[in-house]
Amino acid sequence: MLAAASAVISLGSKPPSMTALFSPLELRETTVPNRVMVSPMCQYSCEARDGLATDWHRTHLGSRAVGGAGLVMTEATAVEARGRISPEDLGIWSDEHAAALEPITEFITEQDSVPGIQLAHAGRKASIERPWDGHDPLQPDDGGWEVVGPSDDPWPYEDGEAPPTTALDQDGIEAVIDSFRAAAEHALDAGFEVAEVHAAHGYLLHQFLSPVTNHREDDYGGDFEGRTRLVREITTAVREVWPDDKPVFVRISATDWLPDRNSWTVEDSVRLSDRLADIGVDLIDVSGGGIHPESRPDYAGPNYQLRYAERIREETKSDIAVGAVGGITTPEQAEAVIANDRADMAIVGREHLRDPYFTMNAARELDATDEIEGPPQYRRAWGF
């Protein structure tokens, strides 16, 4: 039943005069008004260290919705306290967290944008200071916490000793699955339209996927089937509580960027994407790397990860949608990504930090101001 529901995807038929970037994307019964998505970007701004959204989050996310982005995704939002990267990370593990996020989703929706939440667990990359405080590992005695992973190997910090890492046993794995399920329920209560499972960038679910970090010999390790089991079970748990008419995304690292090691590859990502489509996932958010400090991209230039999204889109047997991220900085780039059928959504990160109004700027530069509403308060300036 879920697999059938996942097939309710329309890539949007656009009139001949419409730019591809401003064509709608229909996923189940959710219509994303254009193909620009704000990439999840950590803000490390819960100053009370309680995971509760603040005015910063409302301003950060709300301004991108005012700026016209079709889908605004939260930062990696921890499904449990020990799943935070830093003490200042956003969380979604209680009713209180949902209540703090609800005004944000309401505001995003009022701007005719779609609110999405990335459900995350940092695994062995947890318990560190935020970047501008030093980014050093935090020990339990210093306000940190014991971290978990598929194996007991800690993150290999160059400076500073990693906090203790505990390999999850069966009870621990079931508790993590339950945390994702409960977090999805809280996210739904908060008013989110899209739930994204974070299985990229070297965090817990990616740690299970990659043979670089997964040395288990039980049902959650070993071959492809074992290493992908937790991602599939968590995604199933999220899909079961997320309404059938609303989409679920999964962000993956298409490659570990470690070609000289036994590691996660694009071929693995293609295979996993088909398995996720069977579960009921609607879009694969394609990123890369993060599993190890030596994991580095081949070329950190414009569209440097687009080839991975394109390959997944071309080689999967399902009709699952694909989002591309990485070095998309101009309206012309974003338009070309969609117009040339290389991906179904242009996921823009750092350029949205530089320009919250990226999408409205794109409409003006692409001569498409008649294809986007824009806030009436700003129309005189934008020429809408």
Distance separating alpha carbons of residues 53 and 59, to the nearest angstrom: 11
Instruction: Give this prediction's pTM.
Output: 0.95
Choice between 300 and 20, residue whose per-residue pLDDT is larger: 20
Q: Using pLDDT thresholds of 50, 70 and 90, give the confidence band for residue 5.
A: very low
**Chain segment 309-362, per-residue pLDDT in tens:** 999 999 999 999 999 999 999 999 999 999 999 999 999 999 999 999 999 999
Strand, coil or helix: 308? helix
Which residues, 6+ apart, have CB-to-CB distance to 59 below 8 Å? none
Q: Which of 44, 157, 203, 220 is catalytic?
A: 203
Domain range 18-374, CATH architecture: Alpha-Beta Barrel (3.20)
**Chain segment 125-141, per-residue pLDDT in tens:** 999 999 999 999 999 99
To the nearest whole percent, how much of the chain has pLDDT over 90? 88
Give the model's pLDDT for residue 202: 98
203 assigned to active site: yes
Which residues, 6+ apart, have CB-to-CB distance to 194 below 8 Å? 27, 30, 71, 73, 114, 115, 116, 117, 246, 247, 248, 249
Q: Using pLDDT thresholds of 50, 70 and 90, give the confidence band for residue 18.
A: confident
Q: State yes or no: pLDDT of 380 exceeds 90.
A: no
Give the model's pLDDT for residue 3: 39
Distance separating alpha carbons of residues 106 and 149, to the nearest angstrom: 35
**DSSP secondary structure of 343-364:** -SEEEE-HHHHH-TTHHHHHHH
